[in-house]
A and B are shown apart, each in its own frame.
Chain A
Amino acid sequence: MRAPPSPTASDPGNGDGLMHPVEITFDALLLFSMVVLAWQGVHARNMFRAVVSFIMFGLLTAVAWVRLEAPDIALAEASLGAGLTGALLLATLGRLAPERRGARRPKVVKLSTLPWLTMGLAGTTVLLAVTLTLPAPGLGEAVLAAMPAAGVDSPVTAVLLNFRAWDTLLEIGVMLLAVIALWSLGQDVLASKPRLPAPALPALVRLLFPLFVLSTFYLLWRGGHGPGGAFPAGALLAAGLVLALLAGAQVPERMRGAPLRWALGAGLFAFLVVAVGLMWAVGTFFAYPPQHASILIAIIEIAAGLSIGVMLTALFLGGEPTDIKGGGK
């Protein structure tokens, strides 16, 4: 999913391949902070500290992706890695018994420094060796060469929804399977939880939710020619929906059942309709004719983006929404 180098991408260095000392310092600080946060996430004194370290680690990972000129992954990492996973972990923490929440965690593995150091060094060496054997320019050139027939201007979207669309179809399928598995385990766990009286949060959500929806569609539209697309858009939509749920909103009555199921399945459905339809129209499974690639990708992208948003929210809910008393959103 790494963005191939494109001539229009801004060069973080000063042009001759050397980095400015300020940038080297920034990167070094970033790496150091990430290692410290990762360490804290595993070894922190209590669970809450560990979760907060994990969220911070996700945010810094997003910054690292920006430094590597992969804004698409940075967007996904910030909203999924830091935002949604963080919200899930915090919600889980809130459901633990208070004495376990702040409890000292037992040491899982007891190993002295020497074996750890040896294993770490060995792992790093192997990774370095693997990195060196990778084909040097990667597949960026091949992608750029095929761009004229891709139907979109963004190389990342071209790879995700055209050249390797089959992979993306399966990813959406896996997400849907995860939701189905979760629903089969039980009903949603969020509804029964008592909430703090916090008047500011619903007010904030009322203000921000339209912005979340607007940004979702902006990212969907932008996916055609720049960083954006179905995954960041879906993640952003999910972030907005989860925030609304945390503020006390509930899945509206008329949306439960069939509409919700259609929204969950829309992405996979659009993918399959296009893939099978092309087999019928062109004769090859999932091979866009270049003159129609643009519109077909747009259809899939919108359906997949909405589905991803709803699926992530469903995963956060932890089960099929149940009837709860109280006003709907």
Chain B
Amino acid sequence: MSMLAGIVLIVLGLLFFLSGTVGLLRFPDVFTRLHALSKADTLALGLVCAGLALHEDDGALQLKLLLIWLLVIVSGATCASLIARAALAHGIRPWQR
């Protein structure tokens, strides 16, 4: 049962990775791309980690997966903010229709 739930979570995660990548390729400027990529990929990694944790019986490994996700949350959010600020400082204006 938890095996199946794990697979479902991982597949869901992969779908979010895919949508983040589509956003990176299709969106018009750096800010919209960051918006798509940082959110979707963080959620995707969380889902994949949760799915992998369900496949593990070892509590220490599950904890490690959780820690990996938490580290990616904080570093990913910081990176996105840094890239956006650098782009603004270089005079890139947000895209408008």
Contacts and interface: CB of A to CB of B under 8 A. Distances in A.
Q: How large is the interface on B (under 10, 10 to 19, 20 to 34, 35 or more residues)?
A: 10 to 19
Interface in A146-204: 196-198, 200-201, 203-204
A203 B75 CA distance: 10
B81 A198 contact: yes
A207 interface: yes
Interface stretch (B13-21, B28-36, B46-54, B82-90): B82-90
B74 A197 contact: no
Contacts of B82: 196, 198, 200-201
Contacts of A211: 71
A interface: dominant SS: helix
B78 interface: yes
Contacts of A207: 74
A126 interface: no
A200 B78 contact: yes
Interface in A194-238: 196-198, 200-201, 203-204, 207-208, 211
A204 B85 contact: no
Contacts of B78: 200-201, 203-204
Q: How large is the interface on A (under 10, 10 to 19, 20 to 34, 35 or more residues)?
A: 10 to 19
A204 B89 contact: no
Interface string B55-97: 0000000000000000100110110011001100100000000
Interface in A14-70: none
A198 B83 CA distance: 10
A197 B81 CA distance: 11
A196 B74 contact: no
A204 B79 CA distance: 10
A167 to B, nearest CB: 34
A196 B78 CA distance: 13
A102 B41 CA distance: 28
Contacts of B85: 196-198
A204 B75 contact: yes
A198 B79 CA distance: 10
A80 B89 CA distance: 29
Given A207-B74, A208-B75, A196 B89 contact: yes
A208 B76 CA distance: 13
A200 B86 CA distance: 13
A37 B51 CA distance: 31
Given A207-B74, A208-B75, A200 B81 contact: yes
Contacts of A196: 82, 85-86, 89
22 contacts: A196-B82, A196-B85, A196-B86, A196-B89, A197-B85, A198-B81, A198-B82, A198-B85, A200-B77, A200-B78, A200-B81, A200-B82, A201-B78, A201-B82, A204-B74, A204-B75, A204-B78, A207-B74, A208-B71, A208-B74, A208-B75, A211-B71
Given A198-B81, A198-B85, 4 more contacts: A196-B86, A198-B82, A204-B78, A207-B74
Interface of B: 71, 74-75, 77-78, 81-82, 85-86, 89
Interface of A: 196-198, 200-201, 203-204, 207-208, 211
